[in-house]
């Protein structure tokens, strides 16, 4: 024991139900328009108010369009969900970063960048990628709508304590290899169920060397290994990132907070339920070939052959390849693509746009490619302009859209047409995830940029 996860979890235990779950105190609840309406309805039916409204923050992000945001949402269902969130937050006196305001964006991008997510916190949201916030050293995980209601009413939740896992990635990443590639590599090694029942602490040379944007990407994808969540122990990189941000402690409170945050680390004698170690040198830029994020290969690799797949998994493997239009043993380097998406709570931060711009600078987008470049927040959009990245991208033939979840999932206007191939920096490649019949290839911003220039899957290290 004596892990960082134990320290944060135990500090938030209100009581333990005999032969049952733990009542856990929650420091921060986030909410968006898709998973909150029934929770608020439940409060009304029971005549309850929100217990601690100042600890809860909301914003629409899934349904909002990434163009003409000053106009109403065209889809009536999406518009109704956003309108309902507005009404619920107004009625219950909650802070909402509304659509078409400078505070809006993707909730998992805005939370950390405003320092609403802080080390040592417990953080929940009705969204599986809440694990993103673990990058600041918090225990963050997704919950269901009924649990959202529970937190609104009591600022607590009933949870079984997960087991602990530490994943070490040691060595130094090769040129062109990003945090996204690290995450895709880990998923291919563990599979999408390999971390089920665990909360993962990421550690090792590579993680220590990662920027906060990189750590946010890594933690975002924890859920895709089946983990309850993932996090990184806070360090000087964390403190430097948070200092001076809108909701960060100020003055003496900052010094006091940092003194506490420095205690948030696993002890030298910490015992994990499971510990794994990987070598950075084994990781190259990666792409997925199937319909779950664990079905991935190095960009110069080949899709496994049938005899490399366990017999019990062969039917699902072949079904996935049929959907994607690929064959066992096929090499995907050079395969034509149609769309490129840069964005999502996985790769919609300023560092991702810097990386993309660095590849496309001085080149031109392929004529056959439709590219959607979507910042994760209005702050990211401002940084893009302030750094002149917008000029670089526009000169290369790209248009920067307005913030939102966009083509990560088919709940707004940005949908990939059936049968088309999308190289996407988002987090999931499920059947129909980016639109009915769409075919998604997950990749890093560097691989996405290379594909956008060449119109095919390309190793960015060759450009």
* pLDDT, tens only, 317-339: 999 999 999 999 999 999 999 99
**279 close to 171: Cβ distance less than 8 angstroms:** yes
Q: What is the mean pLDDT of residues 2-8?
A: 97
Element (H, E) at 151: helix 145-154
* pLDDT, tens only, 236-248: 999 999 999 999 9
Judge whether residue 275 has pLDDT over 80: yes
DSSP SS3 for 58: strand
Q: Give 232's strand partners.
A: 202
DSSP SS3 for 13: strand
Q: What is the mean pLDDT of residues 165-192?
A: 97
Q: How far is CA 161 from CA 17, 107, 148, in A?
A: 12, 25, 18
pLDDT at position 300: 97
DSSP SS3 for 153: helix
* pLDDT, tens only, 247-270: 999 999 999 999 999 999 999 999
Instruction: Work out the pLDDT band at 272, boundaries 50, 70, 90.
Output: very high
* pLDDT, tens only, 437-457: 999 999 999 999 999 999 999
**197 close to 162: Cβ distance less than 8 angstroms:** yes
Q: What is the mean pLDDT of residues 96-121?
A: 97
Instruction: Work out the pLDDT band at 1, boundaries 50, 70, 90.
Output: confident
The mean pLDDT value of the chain amounts to 97
Burial of 111 (0-12, 13-18, 19+ CB in 10 A): buried
pLDDT at position 218: 98
pLDDT at position 269: 95
pLDDT at position 154: 98
Q: Is the pTM of this model over 0.75?
A: yes
Q: What is the mean pLDDT of residues 347-359?
A: 98
Token pair of 35 as six digits: 């998973």
User: By percentage, how much of the chain surpasses pLDDT 70?
Assistant: 100
pLDDT at position 424: 98
pLDDT at position 177: 98
Q: What is the mean pLDDT of residues 88-109?
A: 97
């Amino acid at each position: 024991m004596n892990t960082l996860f134990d320290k944060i979890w135990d500090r938030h235990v209100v009581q333990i139900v005999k032969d049952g779950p733990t009542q856990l105190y929650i420091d921060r609840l986030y909410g968006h328009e898709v998973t909150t309406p029934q929770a608020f309805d439940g409060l009304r039916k029971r005549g309850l108010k929100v217990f601690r409204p100042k600890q809860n923050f909301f914003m629409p992000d899934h349904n909002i369009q990434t163009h003409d945001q000053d106009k109403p949402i065209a889809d009536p269902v999406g518009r109704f969900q956003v309108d309902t969130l507005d009404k619920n937050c107004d009625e219950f006196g909650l802070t909402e970063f509304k659509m078409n305001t400078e505070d809006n964006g993707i909730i998992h991008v805005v939370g950390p960048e405003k320092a609403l997510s802080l080390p040592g916190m417990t953080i929940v949201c009705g969204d599986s990628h809440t694990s993103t916030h673990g990058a600041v050293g918090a225990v963050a995980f997704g919950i269901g709508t009924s649990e959202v209601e529970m937190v609104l009413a009591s600022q607590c939740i009933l949870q079984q304590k997960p087991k602990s896992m530490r994943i070490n990635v040691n060595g130094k990443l090769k040129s062109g290899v990003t945090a996204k590639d690290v995450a895709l590599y880990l998923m291919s090694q563990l599979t999408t169920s390999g971390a089920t029942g665990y909360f993962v602490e990421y550690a090792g040379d590579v993680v220590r060397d990662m920027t906060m944007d990189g750590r946010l990407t890594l933690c975002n994808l924890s859920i895709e290994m089946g983990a309850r969540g993932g996090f990184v122990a806070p360090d000087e990189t964390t403190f430097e990132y948070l200092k001076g941000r809108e909701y960060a402690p100020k003055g003496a409170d900052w010094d006091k907070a940092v003194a506490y945050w420095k205690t948030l680390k696993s002890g030298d004698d910490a015992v994990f339920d499971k510990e794994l170690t990987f070598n950075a040198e084994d990781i190259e830029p990666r792409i997925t070939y199937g319909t779950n994020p664990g079905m991935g290969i190095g960009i110069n690799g080949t899709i496994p052959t049938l005899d490399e797949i366990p017999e019990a998994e062969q039917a699902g493997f072949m079904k996935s390849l049929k959907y994607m239009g690929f064959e066992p043993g096929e090499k995907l380097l050079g395969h034509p693509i149609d769309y490129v998406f840069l964005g999502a709570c996985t790769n919609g931060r300023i560092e991702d746009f810097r990386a993309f711009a660095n590849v496309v600078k001085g080149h031109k987008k392929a004529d056959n490619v439709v590219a959607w470049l979507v910042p994760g927040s209005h702050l990211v959009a401002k940084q893009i302009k302030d750094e002149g990245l917008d000029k670089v991208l526009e000169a290369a033939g790209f248009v920067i859209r307005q913030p939102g979840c966009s083509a990560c999932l088919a709940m707004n206007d940005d949908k990939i047409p059936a049968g088309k191939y999308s190289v996407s920096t988002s987090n999931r490649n499920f059947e129909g995830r980016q639109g009915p019949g769409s075919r998604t290839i997950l990749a890093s911003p560097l691989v996405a940029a290379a594909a956008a220039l060449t119109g095919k899957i390309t190793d960015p290290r060759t450009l």
